[in-house]
Amino acid sequence: MDPILEARQLELHFGGLQVLTGVDFQISGSEIVAVIGPNGAGKTSLMNCVNGFYRPQGGQIVFKGKDITRLPPYKIAELGISRTFQNIELYTGLSTLDNLMAARHIRLKRGAFWGAVFFGPTRKEEIAHREFVEDIIDLLDLEPIRKSLVGLLPYGQRKRVELGRALATEPDLLLLDEPMTGMNVEEKEDMARFILDISELKHTPMILVEHDMEVVSDICHRCVVLDFGRKIAEGLPEEIKQLPEVVRAYLGAEEEEEENVA
């Protein structure tokens, strides 16, 4: 199967700081691919390159056969790439429902004039957008908080709203940057279930940045491992966890030797 997204020899640096060096990876079908590695490995920077926040100095990113390496973020979103953020980025003064509806703006076909008139075709379009958002509310179990101000919600629920907002753009590829960071065990289980539901029901491919290897093993099909901006391994989660270079990247050479002695 042809990849929906392919990154080729990505190079990213900020002044003298090399962030990504020759990174290659691809995602096909409805895969869930995890990007893992220690802090500072370049995981979020890679995501920022894919959705246009950063522009790599070298290499190429191809999405659905189109080179998107130099496109601005809003153009990439229109093409079908959506994401969540490590630090929650929501409209805290709006309700859950309004946050989801706000994400539909890239699918609006009527201009400001028709929006002001709100009659005929514009009204039908509004109804269609609301029906789409209602499906997301049902899928992510957001009904109890649909009218709640997002800024007053607990952390775990805000993470779920952010996932819903990403889905509201009708993505062909979903980027999830540490969607379970800061959650308790129950919240992580819920989020993992929602991610699997999205994969099963919508067949949306996903790139997931995550530190919890147990979660990665449970829900991901494949792993890409970064260390100091380089890809050091790629494969099935269970295989990746056993590789000495991956253990060394997470624990450090000295700690690995101590574990072997013990």
Share of the chain above pLDDT 90, in %: 72
Of 102 and 252, the structure prediction assigns the larger pLDDT to 102
Residues 147 and 179 in one domain: no
Band of pLDDT at residue 118, cut at 50, 70 and 90: low
Residues 102 and 66 in one domain: no
Residues 68 and 94 in one domain: no
- What tens digit of pLDDT does each residue of 187-243 get? 999 999 999 999 999 999 999 998 888 899 999 999 999 999 999 999 999 999 889
Residues 68 and 116 in one domain: no
Residues 104 and 155 in one domain: yes
C-alpha 250: how far from its chain's center?
22
- Of the three residues 130, 152, 170, the one that is the final residue of a domain is 170
Residues 243 and 175 in one domain: yes
Q: What is the pLDDT of residue 258?
A: 42
Residues 123 and 56 in one domain: no
Could you tell me if 110 and 82 are in contact, meaning their C-beta atoms sit under 8 angstroms apart?
no
Residues 216 and 190 in one domain: yes
CATH of the domain at 74: 3.40.50.300
Residues 51 and 162 in one domain: no
Q: What is the pLDDT of residue 254?
A: 39
User: 7-21, 26-40, 98-112, 214-228: lowest mean pLDDT where?
Assistant: 98-112
Residues 76 and 5 in one domain: yes
CA–CA separation, 24 vs 27, rounded Å? 11
Residue 255 has pLDDT above 80, yes or no: no
- Residue 54: give the domain boundaries: 1-80+171-262
- Of the three residues 151, 170, 189, the one that is the final residue of a domain is 170
Residue type, 81: I
Q: What is the pLDDT of residue 181?
A: 86
Q: How many domains does the chain have?
A: 2
**Encoded tokens for 151:** 């800024």
Residues 97 and 73 in one domain: no
Residues 162 and 215 in one domain: no
**Encoded tokens for 81:** 């790439």
CA–CA separation, 228 vs 246, rounded Å? 12
CA–CA separation, 230 vs 127, rounded Å? 47
- Of the three residues 170, 188, 211, the one that is the final residue of a domain is 170
Residue 257 has pLDDT above 50, yes or no: no
What's the angle, vertex CA 145, arms to CA 139 and CA 149, rounded to 5? 130
HSE at residue 154, side-chain half, CA atoms within 13 A, is 9
